[in-house]
Structure 1
Amino acid sequence: MGEPNTILHAVRVSLRMSQDELAQAIREDGREHGEPNYCAKRNVQRWESGDVRMPRKIYIRSLERVTGLPIEALGFATPVFGTRAAAQAPANGQESARGEVVEMGATSAPGGAVPMTKHNDHGTLSGIWLSRYEYHSSGRGADFTGEHFVVVIQHRNKLTVRSLPEASSNPDSPLTMDLTVDGNVVTGSWREETAGDGYYAGAVYHGALQLLLEPTGRKMTGKWVGFGKDFDVNTGPWELTFKDASTSKAAMDRYNHRP
């Protein structure tokens, strides 16, 4: 068995889908786009357990459309081939045309990288957090606050952050963050897609983020940076406050509302 794909698990959890529901959504997407597939719960189980390190292309396209994220952001390994001949065969841990799996060595890591072993000193940061940032709207001449209840999944020193579907102060504005923990310093990127019928008319904003993790491990505070509509660089405060250690469906249901 390979290393579990906790990022894909986090994305599925943030979509409030079971493994069977994700498989069904992938099948329906394939039919809608003229690329029928036979994705089943077992496929999703293999992807999340790490038994399959890279799905077949027909699944990749539907996975990207269903989750709204590129395959590189879904925690799968990037196949690395040493020779042209090797490129004709599935990579270790990749599904073959018949759905078979080529086993991956225990020392392998996504992208061929050396596995990172450094952990932070606060235990796991997985759970449900309240994300809160402040920004200035030049068009409206005022300061505003954006809030989301988010699901945080930690795997080693990586944090995958995804907002719950209905848990935004600005309706239909999903937020994602991909962060790295180094001691008390948390650094990474953020992305938010604004509501199509809102003031920003579906515009997508993204940028960098640096936070300091408090000694309790229950709050992160820092600054965001990103580009405005005129390509000027903006910044402002951002904080994440711990709410619940559980990422169960019941816990997510409790927080799946506007903050």
Structure 2
Amino acid sequence: MTTASTNDVLRAVRIGLRMSQDDLAKALRRAGEELGEPNEASKRLVQRWESGTSRAPRPVYARALEHVTGRPVEALGFTLPVPQARVHSDSSGGHDMDHSPDGVQAATATQSPLADMNYSGIWLSRYEFFSSSRDETFEGKHYVVLLQHGARLTGQSLPGASSNPDSPLSLDLTIDRNVVTGSWIEQTAADGYYQGARYHGAIQLLVEPTGRRMAGKWVGFGKDFDVNTGPWELRLVDTSTSKATLQKYSGTPE
């Protein structure tokens, strides 16, 4: 018998929006009315999605989900990450990563007590990249809620909790002892420098012995087939995922 794979991405998004399953169902019904496509979303339906019993929403629900979450439905855990290594270049010559964990060599992990730790909580995510068009190094920071399910870590940025307005970040990671490998998706702001572009990337991190910091790099191919790389780190700021804690960190990181 095949066991359904839980949709931790959708669950993380819901928690990041500070919604219960019933709250999300109600929001989907309201969205349906606003979109002129009434639906019958229920708490039970949300439970089926999150448990993996129902692996993909019907189009009417997909559009409502995108309306409520502000994320494309493929970034809500209903399909597997698809990334092929490449980089998008903006019209001014800047670059953004688009690549998969397969492009990163896995480090050899040694036995570690970290294998028994749970990494759920609020983390400060920070990465750096160099923009050739602006000849300057920039950083992106987000408060993300990280949820652990077995060896899988799923992260979603909290509403308004990014250094760049309206740029939600999603993380899909796998942990093997002290090595964390995975992919990310960031939707840039429509009125920002990258004009609403949606980008994919890959990262590989090593967990420090304290279990409170993960540090590593992203890697990707540039427009001229060169390889670009930069630092990325996650720092634990709170082990709670309560509504009060989520509200506390739903603001621009310092």
For Structure 1 versus Structure 2, the TM-score category normalised by the shorter chain is: 0.7 to 0.9
1:40 Cα deviation from its structure 2 partner:
2.1
Q: Which residue of structure 2 aligns with residue 74 of structure 1?
A: 77
Residue by residue, what CA displacement relative to the aligned partner does 1:168-200 show, whole Å, maximum 9, x if unpaired? Answer: 111111111101111111001111111111222
Q: Which residue of structure 2 aligns with residue 169 of structure 1?
A: 163
1:21 Cα deviation from its structure 2 partner:
2.5
Indicate which of 24, 27, 34 corresponds to 2:26: 24
Residue by residue, what CA displacement relative to the aligned partner does 1:200-237 show, whole Å, maximum 9, x if unpaired? Answer: 22122221110011122111000012456777642200
Verify: 1:54 aligned to 2:45, yes or no: no
1:154 Cα deviation from its structure 2 partner:
0.6
How far, CA to CA, are the matches of 2:201 and 2:4 in structure 1? 32
Structure 1 or 2, whichever has the larger Rg, is 1
Q: Which residue of structure 2 aligns with residue 242 of structure 1?
A: 236
3-state DSSP class of the match of 1:13? helix
Q: Which moved more, 1:122-131 or 1:36-45?
A: 36-45
The amino acid of 1:22's aligned partner reads L
Identity between Structure 1 and Structure 2 (%): 59
Q: Which residue of structure 2 aligns with residue 220 of structure 1?
A: 214
Verify: 1:143 aligned to 2:160, yes or no: no
Q: Which residue of structure 1 aligns with residue 86 of structure 2?
A: none
3-state DSSP class of the match of 2:31? helix
Contact 2:189–2:196 (8 Å) recurs in 1: yes
Verify: 1:185 aligned to 2:152, yes or no: no
Q: Kindly tell me: are residues 225 and 45 of structure 1, through their superposed partners in 2, closer, same or farther at Cα, counting changes over 3 Å?
A: same
Q: Which moved more, 1:198-207 or 1:241-250?
A: 198-207
Q: Kindly tell me: are residues 24 and 233 of structure 1, through their superposed partners in 2, closer, same or farther at Cα, counting changes over 3 Å?
A: farther
1:60 Cα deviation from its structure 2 partner:
4.1
Contact 2:114–2:211 (8 Å) recurs in 1: no
User: Higher RCO, 1 or 2 (CA under 8 Å, sep at least 6)?
Assistant: 2
How far, CA to CA, are the matches of 1:258 and 1:229 in structure 2? 31
Q: Which residue of structure 2 aligns with residue 80 of structure 1?
A: none
Residue by residue, what CA displacement relative to the aligned partner does 1:108-163 show, whole Å, maximum 9, x if unpaired? Answer: xxxxxxxxxxx961411000000011111112111111111000001000111110
How far, CA to CA, are the matches of 1:245 and 1:165 in structure 2? 18
1:4 Cα deviation from its structure 2 partner:
5.3
Indicate which of 5, 13, 16 corresponds to 1:14: 16
Verify: 1:37 aligned to 2:9, yes or no: no
The amino acid of 2:40's aligned partner reads Y
